[in-house]
Structure 1
Amino acid sequence: MMKRISGFLLGLTLGVSVIAQAQTKDPVVDAIVKEATENSQLEKLGHELMDVIGPRLVGTPQMLQAHEWAVEKYKSWGISARNEKWGEWRGWERGITHIDMVAPRVKSLQGMQLAWSPGMAGKTVTGDVVIIPDVPDSVAFQKWLPSVRGKFVMLSMLQPTGRPDYNWDEFGTKESVEKMKKDRDALTIAWGRRITKTGYTSRSLQAALEKAGAAGILNSYWSKGFGANKIFGAVTKKIPSVDMALEDYGLLYRLAESGHTPKISLRADSKETGVVPTFNTIAEIRGSEKPEEYVILSAHFDSWDGGSGATDNGTGTITMMEAARILKKVFPHPKRTILVGHWGSEEQGLNGSRAFVEDHPEIVNNIQVVFNQDNGTGRVVNLAGQGFLNAYDYLGRWLSKVPQDIRKNVETSFPGIPGGGGSDFASFVAVGAPAFSLSSLSWSYGTYTWHTNLDTYDKIVFDDVRSNAILTAVLAYQASEDPVRTSREKSILPLNSKGEPGTWPTQGKATRRGGLD
């Protein structure tokens, strides 16, 4: 009899548990997952932004086009959006870069002018290629300097190998791998000394070469992966600066070093467009009960322009856009206002988000939370507390509502250390607003897509981005509905490397006139 009663009670307990689970299952979360899975707009957004508009270098027409596109896209979803001016920038538009080796044989070469490089007014210039010499001292360099007139000068060291380290580790013998790395380290040190002996820094050296009449500057910032080079900005004012693929740069270097005097012809078109405005795009789903409190979805909108800015930060951008679209459709009246911030000029120093923090204390003082995504196409795997003492409480509660198949990938660490830079969440952390990075796994981000010529649509892993959109939407929904305001209490930071008490990051000031002063 007792066994029958025990069995009945056990069944009753299990039944109550199942009913309780059914009652606590959130239909809004289910709707978010369903919309994200069955009606995803990510591929379309990615194509329109990365393929049609392309890279979004601050100050270019493509950056303005992207801002206008985002506003219209949000409006088509019934979400109000605006472009908010925060500064001005040097306007510039990229044109054709074409490079050919014409001696000692003919070969078309791979390379592109750096951002903001001076153009050549449609002309093609032909000249010898020379290497910065290894001189005894700055006096000897000054004697050599006039010889650069009309020539293209190579400023990067010759890489001893074009194979990534992982390729060496897979196929090389232990002895050959160790020798390669030892030789590379020695060459790197020697090249640094070579530049120092000219009496200039790497930056001021280019100005000296320009003044001496060089035809152009050749660099190769290899990203240590097959075919990958990092493309940043030029410092020259009158002559073109070009980054070349490792393979072609090495070819020219070896020919010049061996006395075969390579000659190239170069056409590098670009156009200065004067002073142009810079913007943040701000989208808003107005809160129904606490409209003056804010949940902010954050991603920088600009990119470098070696590729099309796909994983830095096109994927963060479309993640936030998709999350907002889904929320507007399945939960259009959140308790708190949900803002989406697409920041300009993050790449030059978090300028758009810093300007927003400076310009909107009324919003910053009433932030419930900021979620930022900006490190590639991978699924989110880390969420740290950024030094906020009680972040474990509210982030833990919200994260518990995320579907298990997504939540299981996310490691948390509390209270963590406040980020002083790296991406736009840091602009908010610096003023004590609870802001967090949705940090994703690598997909070889640092080598192959971060600021490189290979950061293009085809590198996007849409399954991972879809997972991130669901995660973001659920976290934003939970944050908007939480009956409690988030705590801003800061933890006591550990001692720094000097044994001094750790200090909270200080607020950085936005650069509002880029390349103009």
Structure 2
Amino acid sequence: MRNFKKALFAPLLLAGFVSMAQRPAAQELKNPIVEAIVKEANDNSQLEKLAHELMDGIGPRLVGTPEMQQAGVWALGKYKDWGIAARNEKWGEWKGWQRGVSHIDMTYPRAKSLEGMQLAWSPGTNGKTVNAEVIVLPYMEDSIAFAKWLPAAKGKIVLTSMNQPTGRPDYNWEEFGTKESVEKMKKDRDMLTAAWAKRISNTGYNSRTLPAALEKAGAVAVVTSNWSRGFGVNKIFGAYTKNIPSVDIALEDYGLLYRLAEAGGKPRMSLKIDSKNLPPADAFNIVAEMKGTEKPNEYVMLSAHFDSWDGGTGATDNGTGTIVMMEAMRILKKVYPNPKRTI
């Protein structure tokens, strides 16, 4: 009988646990505020509209540009429309600059429009068209030999990036190539990358200081190709020259120029870059605030960096983060306008 009681007690105990575990789910009370937030986000999302206005309409938000200033005014206007207190907090200044139209062409040994764009904050050509021979940064044994070569850069357009052995991303090689061909490509690329790094270091400069040295020596432009290892995509960052244009050329067109120059073909390029320097511009943060009603000195913070590089629209870095944060504030103001803590 004692064993029977034990055997009977175990299933009853298990059934009790199951019943207790199931009861909260069945009796769970839905939070009406959370439900309202989810409903507003699903049924009345403003994300697409915000994305269109910011990324399509205003575009990239490079610090120091009129577009960055315009984006700040836009954000303040949105918060005002939503009834949220917001302010522009200045924290310094940055060099003013505005991108213009670029014409980048190969003029010899044949005419070909090239896929490329000026780097951020690059000087322009002052309304003129620069036409010059293209040369590749040479390999020198050391900085002394490079210093002796530098005068040869005068009047030239200098290529300062390695010529990529392939324009296909690794995943594409791995999908369609044999194991042996993929391994050989990667080995060859690693060797070329190491050799180019040595070519740069032997000059006595690095990728940041070399353009200024070429500029001082009289080069008329510096050309790079900062490939992202994706199909047809380069990274567009900042220029390190102060008076001559810095231009990035897409992988295939860069390879063409490089091969022609290396073979002694003396290719020529023409550049007309209409960017212009502007007076120093305010650097700032946009701060919006919903004051807490019970614990105003305790904070819940949402943040996203507002600025971007200007090679694209600045969508993924970080326009999407910006509009999601703003949309969250809009929804909270509509559904939960009097939070306990300051948001």
Q: Distance in 2 between matches of 1:287 and 1:318?
A: 23
Structure 1 SS opposite 2:209: helix
Amino acid at match of 1:193: K
Q: Distance in 2 between matches of 1:18 and 1:306?
A: 51
Q: Distance in 1 between matches of 2:160 and 2:249?
A: 11
Structure 2 SS opposite 1:279: strand
Query: How far is the alpha carbon of 1:138 from its aligned partner?
Result: 2.8
Q: Distance in 1 between matches of 2:58 and 2:33?
A: 34
Q: 1:232 aligns with which of 212, 232, 237?
A: 237
Between the two proteins, the alignment pairs up a number of residues equal to 330
Q: Distance in 2 between matches of 1:12 and 1:119?
A: 75
Is 1:242 aligned to 2:247, yes or no? yes
Query: How far is the alpha carbon of 1:13 from its aligned partner?
Result: 6.8
Partner of 2:195: 190
Q: 1:72 aligns with which of 77, 82, 91?
A: 77
Amino acid at match of 1:69: W
Is 1:82 aligned to 2:87, yes or no? yes
Post-superposition CA distance 1:158-214 (Å, at most 9, x none): 101010000001011111111111111111111111122223223322222111111
Q: Distance in 1 between matches of 2:160 and 2:258?
A: 10
Tell me the TM-score normalised to structure 1 length. Answer: 0.62
Query: More deviation in 201-210 or 223-232?
Result: 201-210
Q: Distance in 1 between matches of 2:25 and 2:272?
A: 71
Partner of 1:455: none
Change (3 A) 1:17 1:148: closer
Q: 2:168 aligns with which of 163, 166, 173?
A: 163
Is 1:331 aligned to 2:336, yes or no? yes
Structure 1 SS opposite 2:68: helix
Query: How far is the alpha carbon of 1:294 from its aligned partner?
Result: 1.0
Is 1:293 aligned to 2:298, yes or no? yes
Q: 1:146 aligns with which of 148, 151, 168?
A: 151
Q: Distance in 2 between matches of 1:15 and 1:182?
A: 59
Amino acid at match of 2:27: A
Change (3 A) 1:181 1:12: closer
Structure 2 SS opposite 1:334: coil
Q: 2:37 aligns with which of 32, 35, 42?
A: 32
Partner of 1:132: 137
Q: Distance in 2 between matches of 1:295 and 1:68?
A: 24
Q: Distance in 2 between matches of 1:332 and 1:95?
A: 43
Q: Distance in 1 between matches of 2:142 and 2:19?
A: 89
Tell me the TM-score normalised to structure 2 length. Answer: 0.92
Is 1:20 aligned to 2:27, yes or no? yes
Correspondences of 1:330-409 after superposition (within 5 Å): 330-338=335-343
Q: Distance in 2 between matches of 1:85 and 1:196?
A: 39
Larger RCO (CA within 8 A; separation ≥ 6): 2
Change (3 A) 1:185 1:18: closer
Partner of 1:175: 180
Runs of 4+ deviating beyond 6 Å = 9-15
Structure 2 SS opposite 1:180: helix
Change (3 A) 1:255 1:334: same
Q: Distance in 2 between matches of 1:174 and 1:119?
A: 46
Partner of 1:59: 64
Query: How far is the alpha carbon of 1:14 from its aligned partner?
Result: 8.9
Post-superposition CA distance 1:281-329 (Å, at most 9, x none): 0111111111121111010000011101001000100110011101111
Correspondences of 1:196-275 after superposition (within 5 Å): 196-275=201-280
Gaps of 5+ in 2: 1-11
Partner of 1:50: 55
Post-superposition CA distance 1:458-488 (Å, at most 9, x none): xxxxxxxxxxxxxxxxxxxxxxxxxxxxxxx
Post-superposition CA distance 1:129-156 (Å, at most 9, x none): 0001112333332332222221100000
Structure exhibiting the larger radius of gyration computed from Cα positions: 2
Partner of 2:5: none
* Identity rate, percent: 68
Amino acid at match of 2:273: A
Q: Distance in 1 between matches of 2:210 and 2:133?
A: 19
Amino acid at match of 1:71: L
Gaps of 5+ in 1: 1-5, 339-517
Q: Distance in 2 between matches of 1:164 and 1:143?
A: 38
Post-superposition CA distance 1:204-225 (Å, at most 9, x none): 2222211111110000010000
Amino acid at match of 1:282: V
Structure 1 SS opposite 2:239: coil
Q: 1:113 aligns with which of 109, 112, 118?
A: 118
Amino acid at match of 1:34: K
Q: Distance in 2 between matches of 1:201 and 1:329?
A: 53
